[in-house]
C-alpha cells in the first residue's frame, strides 16, 4: 500500500499532500509498528516537509499524522524509530504554533 503512494510523495498539490497524510495516519494506526519500522524514515521525511507547507490545513493534518505515527510506536514500546527525527520535528512544530 505504501508503494502505491511513493510516486505521489513528490507532489506539490496541497490536496494530494493532504490526502496522503490522511492515508499515512490511518495506516500508522492500523499497521503499527510494522509500517513505522519498515517505512519510518520515508514517512517522517514526508511529514516534516508537510509541516513546512504554506497551507495551514496541510500543516494541521501533518501534526495529526505524526501523532498517529508516534501513538503506534508507543503502544508497541518501540520509539527508537522516531528519535533521530525529533529535533527537526519539534522545530517544525514550534514554527507552526
Q: Quick: pLDDT tens for 54-91.
A: 999 999 999 999 999 988 788 777 778 888 888 888 89
For residue 9, give every residue at least 6 positions away whose Cβ sits within 8 Å of its Cβ, in sequence order, or none: 20, 42, 46
> What was the pLDDT predicted at 37?
87
> What was the pLDDT predicted at 3?
74
- Please give the average per-residue pLDDT across 2-26, as a whole number: 89
Can you give the residue ranges of every domain in the chain?
Answer: 16-96
Rounded-to-integer distance, Cα 62 and Cα 44, Å:
10
For residue 94, give every residue at least 6 positions away whose Cβ sits within 8 Å of its Cβ, in sequence order, or none: none
pLDDT per residue as tens digits for the range 16-31: 999 999 999 999 989 9
CB atoms within 10 A of CB 20: 21
SS3 33: coil
Whole-prediction pTM value? 0.86
Amino acid at each position: 500500500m505504501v508503494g502505491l503512494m511513493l510516486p505521489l510523495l513528490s507532489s506539490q498539490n496541497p490536496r494530494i499532500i493532504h490526502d496522503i497524510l490522511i492515508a499515512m495516519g490511518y495506516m500508522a494506526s492500523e499497521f503499527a509498528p510494522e509500517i513505522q519500522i519498515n517505512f519510518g524514515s520515508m514517512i517522517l521525511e514526508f511529514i516534516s516537509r508537510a509541516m513546512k507547507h504554506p497551507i495551514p490545513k496541510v500543516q494541521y493534518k501533518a501534526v495529526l499524522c505524526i501523532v498517529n505515527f508516534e501513538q503506534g510506536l508507543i503502544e508497541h514500546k518501540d520509539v527508537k524509530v522516531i528519535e533521530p527525527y525529533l529535533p527537526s520535528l519539534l522545530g517544525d512544530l514550534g514554527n507552526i504554533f
